[in-house]
Amino acid sequence: MQDTAPAPIVDSHCHLDFPDFDGEHDALLERARAAGVTRMVTICTKLRLEPQVRALAEAHEGVFYAAGTHPMSVADEPMATVDQLVALAQHPKFVGIGETGLDYHYTAESARAQQESLRIHIEAARRTGLPLIIHARDADDDMARILTEEHRAGAYDCVMHCFSSSAGLAHAALDLGFYLSMSGIAAFPRSKDLREIFAATSIDRILVETDSPYLAPPPHRGRRNEPAYVARTAAVGAEVFGLDYAEFAARTTANFDRLFAKAAS
């Protein structure tokens, strides 16, 4: 990207506890830092696994964490409680609530339970002041409705992680003051419509992420993703917004610091 030291950037969403990375954390983080990634948020998707995700954050400088029940796991995991999430949030490196949300693509049969879980996580975000981290797939109408209803009942902050939904859901989220996060999907050649949604968004509402080990951007598509590759997505993001890489990295990092204030540099 540049011959000089790469501009600092943040990977706002990854899964360092997944078995894809077993035994490789030191090398993984070294490659990330070489690419300019100064901080990352590793996401716990099942609350029973929170201790091991917390341990990763405690063991590594620049690694923070969030926890919640992923919507695809709601049917198989105990329902989270607000008090449980609020208690976890006392940890100094716990910086977000989730990921939570709705996924009707693979798990539509648990829609009602997913909605209940989502509202629990929203209440925890309200009480803690930490940002909500949303996963949304094939559930745009219910997602927009619940986020809006709950925001009217009491404000909270939120990022639409790995945003790849409709322009309608993007508008609904942005109208509430939320953020959209660009993943490797935005860098796929066939994602022109998605890039147009991002281009129509204020740069002040954009984050970048890997969602690693998933969704590696080109030229790594189809292989394991890792935090270092957030720079590849950011390079595409810079093109979308007509900025040079360093400016895009600085702007999205400032957005991260505003939203994830507990992890601010």
In whole angstroms, how far apart are CA 182 and each of 41, 83, 161, 231?
15, 31, 8, 11
pTM: predicted TM-score of the whole model, two decimal places: 0.95
Q: pLDDT tens, 30-65?
A: 999 999 999 999 999 999 999 999 999 999 999 999
Between CA 88 and CA 34 the distance in angstroms is 31
Listed by start position, the domains of the chain span: 9-263
Given CATH 3.30.1330.10, say whether it is the number of domain 9-263.
no
Q: pLDDT tens, 212-246?
A: 999 999 999 989 999 999 999 999 999 999 999 99
